[in-house]
Structure 1
């Protein structure tokens, strides 16, 4: 259901995939019906898998990520959600940058397919991503797949 995929050529995350010093990944799932980007974003951030991260954002950073807080981002009315700012938008996709400037989250819809990808950027161009990143890479892959799987399940449930 969730598959690792190559980034589409027009993906906003491509600029980081093309840099040798960055890490990027991309996952895709087919939900069986067309979906709007805003609906996908709302479903993604409302999943039970994302709930622990919401709690951390609220407690550690003082940045709530309530379900209704994502709506302005999803509607294109805001360029900020919790700990992320919009780096760029294009038709059917959005690229978010975290507060530190070190990670990106990318979402795209294309017909019945939903994409989720990430980028990790070094602290300065050409720097190593570091031991902490390498230590957490396995968890990151599992977490990314779980987030997308939960979002897909939520989207499918919404269409029943």
Structure 2
């Protein structure tokens, strides 16, 4: 598996807003070459692994999506993709909010000389429990281990596909 590292949510990133309230994580990897945010978004949301998630969203949540829609999101021609809506975006980051408003999905690219750092992170906004206390919810807590492994696999899959698509990446 390509080198994927757990990393602190970068200060001043779009995801940082959520790191102090609820749950937020961040994973990163380095790749040779200058990778744009648009390239990263398009590759990330069209990997075989993410297509499995898209299949599930189509049949369970009635939120279908296509590779063309992923490319439109990457090219900033769309603000919605599958179960997510763009919450914020800049030249190096995109922050997406799920249809229930409880989770965030975040991608970021940073460039350094001949390399790009690719970041993927998630956030879960606490809801209110029956007692009125702030809570992430039983289901999320129960699936946290799976979520961490899945996040690493998603970023790894995107990195692998970038390697395959760019002749300068090695």
**TM-score in same-fold range (> 0.5):** yes
Contact 1:34–1:113 under 8 Å retained in 2: no
Query: Hey, which bits of structure 1, 4+ residues long, moved more than 3 A?
Result: none
Q: Which digits, 9 at most, give the CA deviation of each residue in 1:70-127, with x for residues without a partner?
A: 1121111211111100000122101000000000000000011100000001124961
Report the structure number with the largest CA radius of gyration: 2
Aligned residue runs from structure 1 range 10-159, under 5 A: 10-19=12-21, 22-111=22-111, 112-124=116-128, 127-159=134-166
Q: TM-score, normalised by structure 1?
A: 0.94
Aligned-residue CA RMSD (Å) = 1.3
Q: TM-score, normalised by structure 2?
A: 0.89
Query: Alpha-carbon deviation of 1:65?
Result: 2.0
Number of residue-to-residue matches in the alignment: 158
Inter-partner Cα distance in structure 2 for 1:123 and 1:86: 21
Inter-partner Cα distance in structure 1 for 2:100 and 2:30: 32
Residue 7 (structure 2) aligns with: 5
- Pick which of 1-10 and 119-128 moved more: 119-128
Inter-partner Cα distance in structure 1 for 2:133 and 2:101: 15
